[in-house]
Chain A
């Protein structure tokens, strides 16, 4: 059905796909799996005409193709059901299915009965019962997902990519979706199922392809593969010894979190943080790790949660309150939630301490500049001119500014989310050293990261999140923890 050979893709200087081969047979369900950032989405985007490839060939139905636009791919018979739904809530189901291919009557107006009828036929083919007249917005998420599939079928798709289709479905709806997938497979359609839920892939797929770091690790027939094998294919890389040494001594509990819940995302998370240790938080995207940290400082209104800081109960009413009490969260989303791009480093680093460093309500530029200079030296931020606007810094240096801003607020507990995302190796190692130094100085450090080697390399203890809860707590003070054991807790 589809045969892709030697696909490469770079964004700027960053190579995200290294000559990947991938093929799909007619009437097959092919699972595509890999860690966050392994290149799954990029590959799908290239095969569906959403991105262009740098090199490589794609054969579809025996023809060499190069889709310039998702439309070309759709016309040829390749459709994508995206993870985020793209239905228009205020239009009917049938209209959503037939957008841009509306059936019209003699006056050029939409022929609704014909569209409803055709949509009904498609739903019959899929074996589901959805009213094509209903507004898409009135359907449950699972139903909407099925409408997306119907949309692909209406396009006479021969190959459908489903990008994490089950991520917001209930168990019942997932079973329903499996039924539809099997029906379609029986009708000769091919489906590529992207997911990182192992149980799911073993339940539905014929073959499994694993990507890692933009490279093809291998393709296995599902019947001959074991979950352990797939996990080791996903993570199998060596931890390098770039990471700083672990805690010399671990002291008393400095921060306690109990029963932290966020509606619809996090449930009953409890953990302790001890003096001198770095606590790592791992988990796949959507597992609730970031949501939990945001709920901790009440950036998103939590349902429940009690905290103790150095033995004292604290409330952490909102991010400002948390900051005042010494619990500081450094966002994963640097550009929109972290730094003020258009301001210089002095302002950015001083932003968290305006109260402390202002005189009679006026910015005390001199004292702010002093502390900025101190951090620029300590963290080796370049260029070392405090007046440089942050937008003009490299990603690594921006991240250092973000960290400096947090440190300037004198934290007792520092939570860093994806501290090295989009950061070069040198800066990365420097940031790691800084975090370790802070832990040694007695500040509680929590490192949240989707990079498994990073959490493993940095943390003395590890919380693994899955489905909004702590799936397991793993001790890593001797650095003996393997990626396999972490991944086993992280996936269903």
Chain B
């Protein structure tokens, strides 16, 4: 007992991150060597912009998944954010800051609604947020008649197209948000609670965690981030349209899972998610660069997702196996006991 435990074992997550980073580099350099045109500034920028909105959603999704939930509604909150901010500016004539703030508040409200329903109805978040996804998509379609809204002010467009030191604002937003959220998730007591909720909700409750409040707040965070992404997307494309960001919830979830989070909750980091986002961006880019039939893109995404889930199941299985092995060794011991004592009556 006095030996060995000082040596912290190599963290399984670290290995997963290193592996993922190696795969990303291998793809990027492999395709650079084969086709060129990968490591150019223009391509890197396009690559980043390609996943940046899903990436922002994935940040919020990381929090949700760590606490054992899931939020499918982000895709339609994203489009709703686009449409609402567009309507407030173009049709209601509100100034940009007011429209943005109102939109974010509304999106936060949708998250709160998700959270409250999940907590109150005790229905699996998959079902609740699927309901929100479909309902909101219908609303998006209905309030726009399926048409797009455009005609934004230059000031608003900056949110999607502006650059600081040559870097697009959404990318900066993603990076800064990832940094702050990553820091908070790793070190702030409020967000550390997520791991406890995801690990065992019952135990967390016994330890005094206000599970309901934390859950609701995290769905608010997720929706608000999706709203942020929507606002910036409207600015990036110069138009708001219900079809934007279709199926982005799946990419966000895939990023989180590929980044090593257990989809059943209790593990995951922002760093892992950022790696997952980069992975998807690089893979997609590789398909364009190589001009391979892009139908295969979804196949690769899917396979990677399955692989990620497989790995996390593998780890979980190993843990239970360890526990069983321990009991087995006890069983073997007690067997000796009995035989040495000659058995009881």
Give residues in A with beta carbon < 8 Å to B.
Answer: 50, 70-71, 74, 86-91, 95, 99-100, 102, 104, 108-110, 112, 128-131, 133-135, 137-141, 143, 168, 170-173, 176, 263-268, 467-469, 471-472, 485, 488-489
Is B120 an interface position by the 8 A CB rule?
Answer: no
A-side contacts of B34, CB under 8 Å: none
Q: Tell me the bound Cα distance from A469 to B200 in angstroms.
A: 32
Assess whether B331 is in contact with A88, with CB atoms less than 8 Å apart.
no
Is B122 an interface position by the 8 A CB rule?
Answer: no
Assess whether A88 is in contact with B189, with CB atoms less than 8 Å apart.
no
Q: Tell me the bound Cα distance from A87 to B206 in angstroms.
A: 12
Q: Tell me the bound Cα distance from A173 to B326 in angstroms.
A: 11
Assess whether A128 is in contact with B1, with CB atoms less than 8 Å apart.
yes
B-side contacts of A99, CB under 8 Å: 192-193, 196, 204, 207-209
Rounded to whole Å, the gap between the CB of A76 and the closest CB of chain B is 13
Rounded to whole Å, the gap between the CB of B108 and the closest CB of chain A is 22
Q: Please provide the 5 A-B residue pairs with the shortest distance between their CB atoms, ordered closest to farther.
A: A86-B203, A264-B324, A88-B199, A264-B327, A109-B187
Q: List 5 A-B contacts (CB under 8 A).
A: A95-B192, A99-B192, A109-B183, A263-B324, A264-B323
Contact of B199 among A90, A102, A109 (CB under 8 A): A90
Give residues in B with beta carbon < 8 Å to A.
Answer: 1-2, 5-9, 11, 13, 183-184, 187-189, 192-193, 195-196, 198-200, 202-204, 206-209, 266-267, 319, 323-335, 338, 343-345
Assess whether A134 is in contact with B332, with CB atoms less than 8 Å apart.
no
Question: Which chain A residue lies CB-closest to B13?
Answer: A90
Knowing A99-B196, A467-B331, say if A172 contacts B326 (CB, 8 Å). Answer: no
A-side contacts of B327, CB under 8 Å: 168, 264-265
Assess whether B5 is in contact with A90, with CB atoms less than 8 Å apart.
no
Assess whether A91 is in contact with B196, with CB atoms less than 8 Å apart.
yes
Question: Which chain B residue lies CB-closest to A146?
Answer: B1
Assess whether B330 is in contact with A170, with CB atoms less than 8 Å apart.
yes
B-side contacts of A170, CB under 8 Å: 326, 329-330, 333
Knowing A100-B209, A264-B323, say if A90 contacts B266 (CB, 8 Å). Answer: yes
Assess whether A469 is in contact with B207, with CB atoms less than 8 Å apart.
no
Question: Which chain B residue lies CB-closest to A471?
Answer: B344
Knowing A109-B187, A176-B1, say if A90 contacts B334 (CB, 8 Å). Answer: no
B-side contacts of A95, CB under 8 Å: 192
B-side contacts of A265, CB under 8 Å: 324, 327, 331
B-side contacts of A472, CB under 8 Å: 343-345
Q: Tell me the bound Cα distance from A277 to B155 in angstroms.
A: 88
Assess whether B11 is in contact with A135, with CB atoms less than 8 Å apart.
yes
B-side contacts of A100, CB under 8 Å: 189, 193, 207-209
Assess whether B207 is in contact with A267, with CB atoms less than 8 Å apart.
no
Rounded to whole Å, the gap between the CB of A79 and the closest CB of chain B is 10
Rounded to whole Å, the gap between the CB of A379 and the closest CB of chain B is 35
Contact of B192 among A102, A176, A266 (CB under 8 A): A102
Q: A90-B199, A468-B331, A489-B344 are in contact. List 20 more A-B contacts (CB 8 A).
A: A87-B199, A87-B203, A99-B209, A102-B189, A109-B188, A110-B192, A112-B187, A131-B6, A131-B8, A134-B8, A138-B9, A172-B1, A263-B328, A264-B323, A265-B324, A266-B331, A267-B335, A469-B335, A471-B343, A471-B344
Knowing A138-B9, A170-B330, say if A89 contacts B266 (CB, 8 Å). Answer: yes
Rounded to whole Å, the gap between the CB of B186 and the closest CB of chain A is 8
Assess whether B5 is in contact with A264, with CB atoms less than 8 Å apart.
no
Rounded to whole Å, the gap between the CB of B13 and the closest CB of chain A is 8
Q: Tell me the bound Cα distance from A485 to B344 in angstroms.
A: 10
Assess whether A86 is in contact with B200, with CB atoms less than 8 Å apart.
yes
Q: Tell me the bound Cα distance from A263 to B321 in angstroms.
A: 9
Q: Tell me the bound Cα distance from A87 to B199 in angstroms.
A: 8
Assess whether A264 is in contact with B325, with CB atoms less than 8 Å apart.
yes
Question: Which chain A residue lies CB-closest to B329?
Answer: A170
Q: Tell me the bound Cα distance from A485 to B188 in angstroms.
A: 57
Rounded to whole Å, the gap between the CB of B340 and the closest CB of chain A is 13
Q: Tell me the bound Cα distance from A266 to B324 in angstroms.
A: 11
Q: Tell me the bound Cα distance from A471 to B335 in angstroms.
A: 10
Rounded to whole Å, the gap between the CB of B242 and the closest CB of chain A is 38
Question: Which chain B residue lies CB-closest to A179?
Answer: B1
B-side contacts of A138, CB under 8 Å: 8-9
Assess whether B330 is in contact with A91, with CB atoms less than 8 Å apart.
no
Q: Tell me the bound Cα distance from A431 to B11 in angstroms.
A: 54
Rounded to whole Å, the gap between the CB of B192 and the closest CB of chain A is 6
Rounded to whole Å, the gap between the CB of B237 and the closest CB of chain A is 37
Assess whether A137 is in contact with B319, with CB atoms less than 8 Å apart.
yes
Assess whether B326 is in contact with A168, with CB atoms less than 8 Å apart.
yes
Assess whether A134 is in contact with B187, with CB atoms less than 8 Å apart.
no
Q: Tell me the bound Cα distance from A301 to B7 in angstroms.
A: 35
Contact of A467 among B7, B184, B193, B334 (CB under 8 A): B334
Contact of B323 among A109, A133, A168 (CB under 8 A): A168
Question: Which chain B residue lies CB-closest to A90?
Answer: B267
B-side contacts of A131, CB under 8 Å: 5-8
Question: Which chain B residue lies CB-closest to A100?
Answer: B208
Q: Tell me the bound Cα distance from A357 to B11 in angstroms.
A: 55
A-side contacts of B183, CB under 8 Å: 109
Q: Tell me the bound Cα distance from A133 to B209 in angstroms.
A: 22
Q: Tell me the bound Cα distance from A267 to B335 in angstroms.
A: 8
Q: Tell me the bound Cα distance from A63 to B8 in angstroms.
A: 44
A-side contacts of B203, CB under 8 Å: 86-88
Question: Which chain A residue lies CB-closest to B1?
Answer: A176
